[in-house]
Structure 1
Amino acid sequence: MLSRRALCAAVLVSLGAFASPAFAAELPDLGGRTVTVVSENTYPPLQFIDPSTGEAIGWEYDAVAEIAKRLNLDIEYTTTSWDAMIQAIHDGQYDMAMNGITIRDDRKAMVDFSEPYMHSEMLMLARGDEDRFDDAESFAAFEDGLIGSQPGTTPFYTAVYEVLDGDEQNPRIKLYETIGAAIQALRIGDVDLALTDSTAANGYVKVSNGALKLIGEPLGAEDFGFIFPPGSDLVAPFNAAISDMAADGTLDALNQKWFVDYAMGQ
């Protein structure tokens, strides 16, 4: 996922951009097949619960809805925890998962990934009035500093190996069930730092009214993909639709909508 500034520069089409018939005609028709999609709904702006309506919304919901339209699919959504998600997909409990899932080799041993639909950088969040540290090095030297993180995620491993000492049991890392809970812990002072990708980080800062800020430099990059049970026949059609949407500007339009124009809680 691109940073907010990069996204603004990258958007070359209007929000009204959708697939042309020439693109859509090349995609397979899956005949109204029902596909069960699971997410956690805790990862704004990719997928989350709108605080004003209680509705599940986000970039990934819009993207999957567009993919379903192009491939003639009927999508049924459900939720599960992140801890259970990859195993559940591996076991075939669901047809696909969308959760801002980083494409990694260890996960490829469990599930099949789509082609990347988004590229992101890992960013550090601190409270807006934080003056004891301003980057990863100074935080590591601040021995009383605590990091809030969700176990088993890319932010967790980045915190362990790029901010701290490589010890996954380091007591300076406090674990939370969701990234949202870790961010809330940061806001109220239970921890001093949280890591997330630029997708969520810029959104959290934007709606915090100065309570949160970004510090330091990005700590690496990652690609996001949808995941499927091993050998799923949905991977190729989804890849074709993602490529189609990149070519006709739809992905850029979704970036504009969710990373530039959307304001949570407004």
Structure 2
Amino acid sequence: MKALPLIAALLALAAPAAGQELPDLGGRTIVAVTENAYVPLNFADPKTGEGIGLEYDLFNEIAKRLNAQVDWELASWDVMIQAVRDGQFDVGMDGITINAEREEQIDFSDPYLTSQQLMLVRADEERFSDAQSFASDDQLLVGAQAGTTNFYVAVYDMLDGDEANPRIKLFDTFGASVQALASGDVDTVLMDQTSANGYIGANPGAFKVVGEALGTEEFGFIFTPGSDLVEPVNAAIAAIKADGTLAALEEKWFYQYNAAQ
């Protein structure tokens, strides 16, 4: 009981930091780009065609807290990083893993989500149960998008390190690789835990996850090098984490959305 006053005092000291005033961007319009093909982070609502998902909600909330507007644009994954680097867009998002190679090209926000790479397979798959048994059968194929974390994990953590390995079938979009899995054209697709939950929840009885996680990754927003938006967005991310808003968005998109499908 004697510790309670000390705890209360510490919380009182911490409160101003957690609730400190965020930068005011004065109504500035931020041009944001995504792909609309990464359930449940960003995708088209099947009923309305409107872009929805955790990243939409999160960045809209960030902009609201910074007194900014968001102009949403779409671009394919293969051009997104270069387009943001060139200043065609202010910020990009598509479940983009923070890594050293990309940090040489663009600026990252602080991470807003941590996830792991998993093997999504058809629900009736029994020929393999993990990465090792998959790799040992040269008839099995993995679907991926070139240049993504999923692609590199397939190359270096599942197979033989050959980026031209014919067992890797490339697709223009992440959604197309999952469609190929569903139709039997490939036998697994690697994805983060959040996206795997989304596809399993949206397609009951169609998919499952096998094996252990193949690695941990952190997602960040990307910016044109030297962007003055990085620090304000990082401040907003910290506030959104601290007050429970991010946890509520994860609950909405990873659990409630899945359950409603």
Answer yes or no: same fold by TM over 0.5: yes
5+ residue gaps, structure 1, are: 1-19
Q: 1:253 aligns with which of 244, 248, 254?
A: 248
Aligned equivalents of 1:138, 1:147: Cα separation in 2 = 13
RMSD across aligned positions (CA): 1.6
Q: For residue 263 of structure 1, give the secondary structure of its aligned residue in structure 2.
A: helix
Query: Structure 1 residues 80 and 207, CA, compared in 2 at 3 Å: closer, same or farther?
Result: same
Q: 1:110 aligns with which of 105, 110, 114?
A: 105
Aligned to 1:86: 81
Q: Which runs of 4+ in 1 moved over 4 A?
A: 20-25
Matched, 1:96 2:84: no
Q: 1:135 aligns with which of 124, 130, 134?
A: 130
Aligned to 2:196: 201
Residue type of the alignment partner of 2:225:
P
- Whether the aligned pair in 2 keeps the contact of 1:37 and 1:94 (CA below 8 Å) is yes
Q: 1:237 aligns with which of 225, 229, 232?
A: 232
1:176-223 superposed Cα distances (whole Å, 9 cap, x missing partner) = 011110010011010111101111111111222212110000000000
Deviation at 1:52, TM superposition (A): 1.6
Residue type of the alignment partner of 1:199:
T
- Whether the aligned pair in 2 keeps the contact of 1:128 and 1:212 (CA below 8 Å) is yes
Matched, 1:164 2:156: no
Q: For residue 33 of structure 2, give the secondary structure of its aligned residue in structure 1.
A: strand
Deviation at 1:23, TM superposition (A): 5.5
Normalised by the length of structure 2, the TM-score is 0.92
1:223-248 superposed Cα distances (whole Å, 9 cap, x missing partner) = 00000000000000000000001111
Q: 1:144 aligns with which of 139, 148, 151?
A: 139
Aligned to 1:5: none
Equivalent residues, number = 247
Aligned to 2:216: 221
Query: Structure 1 residues 176 and 265, CA, compared in 2 at 3 Å: closer, same or farther?
Result: farther
Residue type of the alignment partner of 2:104:
A
Deviation at 1:264, TM superposition (A): 8.0
- Whether the aligned pair in 1 keeps the contact of 2:122 and 2:208 (CA below 8 Å) is yes
Aligned to 1:178: 173
Bigger Rg, structure 1 or 2:
2
Residue type of the alignment partner of 1:192:
D
Query: Structure 1 residues 186 and 32, CA, compared in 2 at 3 Å: closer, same or farther?
Result: same
Aligned to 1:69: 64
1:81-100 superposed Cα distances (whole Å, 9 cap, x missing partner) = 10000001111111000111
5+ residue gaps, structure 2, are: 1-14
Deviation at 1:40, TM superposition (A): 0.3
Bigger relative contact order (CA 8 A; separation at least 6): 1
Deviation at 1:148, TM superposition (A): 0.6
Matched, 1:263 2:245: no
Normalised by the length of structure 1, the TM-score is 0.90
Residue type of the alignment partner of 2:25:
L
